[in-house]
Structure 1
Amino acid sequence: MPLTLTINTDAWRSHQRSLLADVPGLVPVLKGNGYGFGLDLLAREATALGVGSISVGIAQEVAAVRAGGWTGDVVVLNPWRPFDDAATALLDDPGVIATISRADDLRAVAAEHPTARVIVEIETAMHRHGLDPRNLTAEDFGELTFEGWAVHLPSSGLLVEARRLAATGVSVRPAPVWVSHLSVADYAQFAREFDARMRVGTRLWLGDKAAYHTTATVLDVHPVKRGQELGYHSVKAPKEGHLVIVSGGTAHGVAMAAPTPQRSLRQRGVTAAQGVLDALGRSLSPFTIGGRKRAFAEPPHMHSSMVFVPGATPPAQVGDVVPVTTRMTTVTPDEVRFS
């Protein structure tokens, strides 16, 4: 009775290989929940792509990708901090490349772990991590193996900023530039000017949305009358209809969402409308039953959800499979199937 992610094998892998051909120096990103596919599965896919290095989000993910069969270099994207014991333990691992984003940290690693391999992150318009390379001296690097500069751009990567920051870095110390979020065309131009690598996660694994889909299984169907109490919280049914119990709940990341910028009137209107539904206890679920997304009867449970469908006719049968819209960076399916 699982929440299932089904992958169209040929289409999914064809997209990966097409992007790899368009992006020389591509570095797959494997982090978090493995973009919904799992880190072990993506480690096997990265191995099949034949790339020389991958990136993970945090030090604790290195073991997970290696358990999945990855034997090449691993770049840890989260910058090293002196209080991160897991990251510190990997500084002497010859297959791991640490990211450094502060001058004090660079000097500390050079002094205490002189054999470490490091990438130094340059501060971009994101202002999340990074430093100004012009504030570094040759002595700051010590005997470290310097693998290059990292330029982590906003999601709408700007070629002009990437070029400016990369030029600043290589003027201080020549090395490869590891960049993110450039378009294929912009990266091609960037790579003509610099020894370039491009980290790619979302576009690589989730770029062909038609190549994968998530489904839930109908576990139970119960008729209810208007005003009838239901669920853990004894909410009242708004009208006659059916409760459809489907696989997929909070343990799977179902219905989880991150805040998004409200850049247009339409987006603001959708948010306002959802707020009204939430206030009425009728939050829209990600489950499609009878051709429409239906409202939650109450908040999702750990491994299942209760969905309300109005009408006297049963909308589904136990064992039916129904589509479910999932946020791939938060979902953890019970099963991943290749078709």
Structure 2
Amino acid sequence: MSSRVLCAPLPSVPFLFLLLLAAPGARAAGYETCPRVQPNMLNVHLVAHTHDDVGWLKTVDQYFYGVKNTIQHAGVQYILDSVISALLAEPTRRFIYVEIAFFSRWWNQQTNATQEIVRKLVRQGRLEFVNGGWVMNDEATTHYGAIVDQMTLGLRFLEDTFGTDGRPRVAWHIDPFGHSREQASLFAQMGFDGFFLGRIDYQDKQLREDSLEMEQVWRGSTSLEPPTADLFTGILPNMYSPPQNLCWDMLCRDNPVVEDPRSPEYNVKTLVTYFLKLATNQGQHYRTNHTVMTMGSDFQYENANLWFKNLDKLIRQVNAQVSVPTLW
């Protein structure tokens, strides 16, 4: 999954971000585009994303075009426009996208030149599709036939458009209200390597954090011979939102990163200290030395520059806290 990786000596700070990507213009497939990680450090994966409901308070067209923003401010066409521009501005930036119902509509409105630019971003792993269904389907009241149909529709679009470069390797159900064993079984049989959940009962989450069971291999079926329906499953730490005080979208109110020490608003030292403590505490709920921070939320990144500019600053300032040189 596309992320920018922060590493720290275990179990203490300082931290080191590693920004290791396929070289711009190079062709790499699948996991070859992932940043390298350090086995003896805490690896914090910053995942830039937007959660775009395909119908909720507004219709699909209203969400896509940004109509009736008095009901909810959302314009998916502008999100995709802005994200692509931000990725092109800085080659270390990465982004994941989920809802193919919106992406395919946006794609069909682009010029051939823009489409080729996006293909290159996908090829380099800088724009990655996760889940890949037409929508992020419900799990409680859906029929398996409808799930298969809508996943087929989205995955077929990605295959026809990007070939194997666009193949999602991770299932991403961050917002359904409840989860079913059969959904995990279906995803395993579809060939996904992992499955990430966001919204779970708070009591369940607390128990999993205390017992270090935020990650597991889910056996989705008792009738299918293992490992046919086995799937690595992870629970995201903040449902799917950014950590508190680290939301830099136009819809958020958190303070930006101010690097200039001459400014009365200078806040880097405080922010970096807070981030290091937050990451260390979060990592203690997982058995491995990997943890995720979801940097995005509902219909965010309409002005992607706000998010990426502050993430770039955070990465730069955390890197400056250690003497180990950044590896490229």
TM range (shorter): 0.3 to 0.5
User: TM-score normalized by structure 2?
Assistant: 0.35
User: TM-score normalized by structure 1?
Assistant: 0.34
* Structure with the larger helix share: 2
Whichever of the two has the greater Rg, that structure is 1
* Structure with the larger strand share: 1
Q: Which has the higher contact order (CA 8 A, sep 6+)?
A: 2
